[in-house]
Structure 1
Amino acid sequence: MARWSGPRTVLGPRGTLGVLAACGVLVVALVVAVVALALRPGDNSEALPSPAVSASPTANRTPSVADIYQRIGPSVVVIQMADGSLGSGVIAADDGTVLTANHVIADGGAISLRFADGTTSAATVASADPKNDIATLTPATLPQPVVPATLGGQVEVGGEVVAVGNPLGLDYSVSSGVISGVDRTAPTDSGTFTGLIQFDASVNPGSSGGPLLDANGLVVGIVVSIADPGHDDAFAGIGFAVPIGSALGGGNGPGDGRGPQI
């Protein structure tokens, strides 16, 4: 077998260093070339995904009870009769029409309203529906600006509700609870009312005529009575409201009768 017998190069110390230096230069050049390719326009390498932007935590947040109270507050009205009896109401239209419970104003006499901004006004009965215990009032003087409530909303058993009114003379009081039942029947001092919303938000005498609102702050009913097994006008955990659809059905002319317990 033939053997390679040509000249062989022997590396001394200087030669070894030279080779190593040359290798180092080659490695650096390769690294630079790779980096240049990676940064070249039109590079097809897959880019790292951008961090996902999370939605604002308040974007579709259901309003709190405090939010609902702030929204409905300018629409709530305190009603006082000449005999000193109290009730509540809610501005239901741009012209300042006030929606309330008929029994609040059914005894007759002068009607005085107080709006959330402190404006006071006399009022006259525009319409009354004793069958549903609903009345509308026309104020002589309006607050500025007039802020009508938004009527309508969702009524479902277990749904959250908020009541705002003037219980026991404690004006602009707010309470919350749930809808306990629908299409309820309630006996009262002025007869038996049917088709009512049952709820457990606390209401008391003076709350009648005030708005019952759903979880989005929409008026779903007008508070008219409480269950009163002890006949002492004390809240027993059961309140009733006329659904807003029935309340807007209206009637003609003032009614009579003393109305429900609150």
Structure 2
Amino acid sequence: MRLGFVGAGRMGRPMVTRLLAAGHQARVLGRSAAVREALAAEGADVVGETGSVADGADAVVVCVFSDEQVREVCLGGALLDRMLPGSVLVVHTTGSPSTAGEIAARAAHISVLDAPVSGGPHDIAAGRLTLFVGGAEDAVARVRPVLGSYADPVLHVGALGAGQRVKLINNALFAAHIGLLTEAVRVAGQLGVAEEPLLGALSHGSAASRALAGAAARRSVAAFTENVRDFLGKDVAVARTVAAELGGDLRAIDTAIDAIAPRRP
């Protein structure tokens, strides 16, 4: 399939590598000379302007860091206007569900999928990234072979915006797990149990979780928290905002989250 790709960074770069290895054609935005040279060496068609990635593409993938960057790429430039009628835009960035809706309203000639990711670069390299996908079923079917180049499972969770809602709940719960681990380490210290052996032991018990596995690998909840704070804090802020906009709240989840991402006064 002919693809356009915006966001060949920490997460996007291994996606491009997997796409090319799977035989897809990829026109990729490259900001710096070093990135352009490396991408070209892998077989990508590298361009220096965002709108150019859409030229002739059956699908365009956007994998930037923040919701603001998604809006800049998709709503602030020529990308949407240059996409072919009937092509598909896939947004991997975690952000507000309303952003996907605004993009779809702006570009009725294409299909839009919100497909936030769960996992890291190592999961992409192994082809086991998890995707929560919202959008039309036929559009998901068209790009499933593309997404399957680096993701398994690819989970279609509902209409446009549902992918973001599921991901925001996922990350809020993940943050809460870390917050509970922080409290567990505090209590263990009061009981005379050191943190490192505690984390290693709990990983084999019924309290095991992905958050616990990450903390155990770094031998410290604080070290793991520092490693994930930037992206998790961003996503938790969005989750709180979206919940409030929809008349909901995070309740007990939010209380646990406060240990690592305190609410702003």
Fold equivalence (TM over 0.5): no
Name which structure has the greater RCO, CA cutoff 8 Å, separation 6+: 1
TM-score by length of 1: 0.23
Whichever structure has more helix as a proportion of its residues is 2
Q: Which has the larger radius of gyration?
A: 1
TM-score by length of 2: 0.23
